[in-house]
């Protein structure tokens, strides 16, 4: 009898080249948590050769200059899903399939596109079986979800292992700023109040702030600023899916993608860096405030220049599920390294209304008791 994990892998063919088993010749699929491909037929583990290269940063400016002609690119047949916006890669000779990210049927009507080749991949370590258990636990913990959600969402949701595209950026940010430094001081203030029915004068200490002009230049070094390269990810807060453990990135190898889906980037290299600037801004502002000093700081203007910019195009592992409840689409993502789950879910108006009613009754009882004393 075949291992259930292998059966699941058969239904999720990779869009990259296939790998034959050394024992029986059947297709192999990457085995999460191991540096090996597992045969979908006989279960034999086929080791992935140790990488002969290391993960290196690429020069950002040079890549922009050479992107059209000399950059290291790959060609993929892809089409954009109208339902969720994913750029779905199609295998050779396949022109229609379901979108792996939302389950909607799509038909390829696009030609192949040149894309920057991924620099590195973070292999799956969470199996599909473990992802399903995370999903079960999450469904049971949704207190305000409709009662039948756990049954219907689990039956309808089909988990797909997918590698999602991200950019990482390194750079040195030099920022000139103009601001103000606030320094506190205390003054004695007189006021009148009523004590035992009589007006009396008293004093108190009041804190005030003197503001002084401040300006200067600060330097911040950034390493691996992570930016999603896909608009299909339902991440309201990117940090919800972290941490990833980027130090464990492996040099890109098609073998890690065997048995899994892969989405192409829809946010290009330059647009990704604009997103990185926004993610770097709070750190730069914090550095400016520390440089200004004092008790309070105001930043009136700041202008940053970015040097020594390098980047990596990487693929990160996620288990993706989509389900429909009352005709509305909900999606769930599970970090393929840690099992961290990010998901959409419906809310039960009846449960929320019941809780509000109970709280109102409790408040009413407390008020009634207090009024009778």
pLDDT at 370: 74
pLDDT at 93: 40
> pLDDT tens digits, residue range 226-235?
999 987 766 5
Q: Give the whole-angstrom CA distance, residue 333 versus residue 335.
A: 7
Identify whether the C-beta of residue 367 lies closer than 8 Å to the C-beta of residue 357. no
Identify whether the C-beta of residue 318 lies closer than 8 Å to the C-beta of residue 341. no
Identify whether the C-beta of residue 334 lies closer than 8 Å to the C-beta of residue 126. yes
> pLDDT tens digits, residue range 273-324?
999 999 999 999 999 999 999 999 999 999 999 999 999 999 999 888 776 6
**How many Å separate Cα 99 from the centre of its chain?**
20
> Which residues, 6 or more positions from 327, have their beta carbon under 8 angstroms from its beta carbon?
none
For residue 242, give Cα distances in angstroms to 221, 246, 316, 334: 21, 10, 11, 10
Q: Give the whole-angstrom CA distance, residue 169 versus residue 159.
A: 30
Q: Give the whole-angstrom CA distance, residue 362 versus residue 166.
A: 50
Dihedral (Cα; 233, 267, 118, 66), 10-degree rounding: 180
**How many Å separate Cα 310 from the centre of its chain?**
21
Most confident of 332-336, 348-352, 359-363: 332-336
Q: Decide: helix, strand or coil at residue 294.
A: coil
pLDDT at 84: 63
pLDDT at 24: 80
pLDDT at 12: 32
Domain ranges (residues) in the chain: 4-175+216-351
pLDDT at 128 over 60: yes
Give the residue with greater pLDDT, 79 vs 211.
211
Q: Give the whole-angstrom CA distance, residue 14 versus residue 253.
A: 13
Tokens (6 digits) for 116: 């920057």
Confidence bin at 103 (pLDDT 50/70/90): low
Which region among 27-36, 170-179, 242-251, 342-351 has the lowest average model confidence (pLDDT)? Answer: 342-351
pLDDT at 7: 27
> pLDDT tens digits, residue range 27-36?
778 888 777 8
Q: Give the whole-angstrom CA distance, residue 106 versus residue 109.
A: 9
The structure tokens 């990135």 sit at: 249
**Mean pLDDT confidence for 69-87:** 61
Give the residue with greater pLDDT, 77 vs 2.
77
Q: Of how many residues is the chain composed?
A: 373
pLDDT at 355 over 80: no
């Amino acid at each position: 009898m075949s291992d259930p994990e292998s059966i699941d892998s058969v239904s999720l063919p990779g869009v990259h080249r296939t790998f034959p088993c050394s024992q029986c010749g059947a297709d192999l699929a990457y085995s999460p948590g191991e540096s090996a491909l597992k045969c979908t037929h006989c279960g034999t583990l086929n080791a992935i050769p140790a990488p002969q290269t290391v993960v290196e940063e690429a020069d950002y400016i040079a890549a922009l200059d050479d992107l059209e002609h000399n950059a290291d690119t790959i060609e993929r047949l892809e089409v954009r899903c109208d339902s969720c916006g994913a750029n779905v890669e199609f295998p050779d000779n396949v022109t229609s399939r379901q979108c792996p990210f939302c389950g909607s049927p799509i038909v390829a009507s696009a030609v192949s596109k040149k894309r920057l080749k991924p620099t590195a991949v973070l292999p799956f370590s969470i199996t599909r079986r473990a992802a399903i258990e995370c999903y079960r636990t999450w469904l049971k913990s949704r207190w305000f979800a409709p009662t039948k959600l756990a049954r219907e969402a689990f039956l309808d949701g089909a988990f797909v292992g997918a590698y999602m595209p991200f950019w990482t950026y390194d750079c040195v940010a030099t920022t000139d700023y103009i601001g103000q430094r606030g320094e506190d001081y205390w003054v004695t203030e007189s006021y009148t109040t009523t004590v035992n029915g009589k007006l009396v004068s008293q004093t108190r200490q009041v804190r005030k702030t003197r503001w002084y002009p401040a300006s200067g230049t600060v330097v911040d070094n950034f390493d691996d600023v992570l930016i999603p390269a896909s608009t299909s990810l339902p991440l309201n807060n990117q940090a919800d899916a972290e941490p990833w453990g980027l130090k464990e990135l492996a040099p890109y190898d098609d073998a890690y993608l065997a048995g899994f889906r892969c989405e192409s980037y829809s946010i290009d290299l330059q647009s990704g860096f604009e997103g990185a600037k926004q993610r770097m801004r709070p750190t730069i502002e914090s550095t400016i405030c520390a440089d200004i000093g004092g008790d309070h700081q105001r930043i009136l203007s700041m202008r940053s220049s970015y040097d020594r910019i390098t980047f990596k195009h990487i693929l990160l592992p996620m288990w993706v599920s989509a389900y429909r409840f009352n005709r509305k689409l909900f999606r769930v993502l599970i970090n393929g390294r840690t099992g961290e789950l990010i998901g959409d879910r419906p809310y039960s108006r009846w449960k929320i209304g019941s809780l509000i009613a109970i709280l109102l009754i409790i408040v009413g009882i407390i008020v009634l008791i207090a009024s009778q004393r």
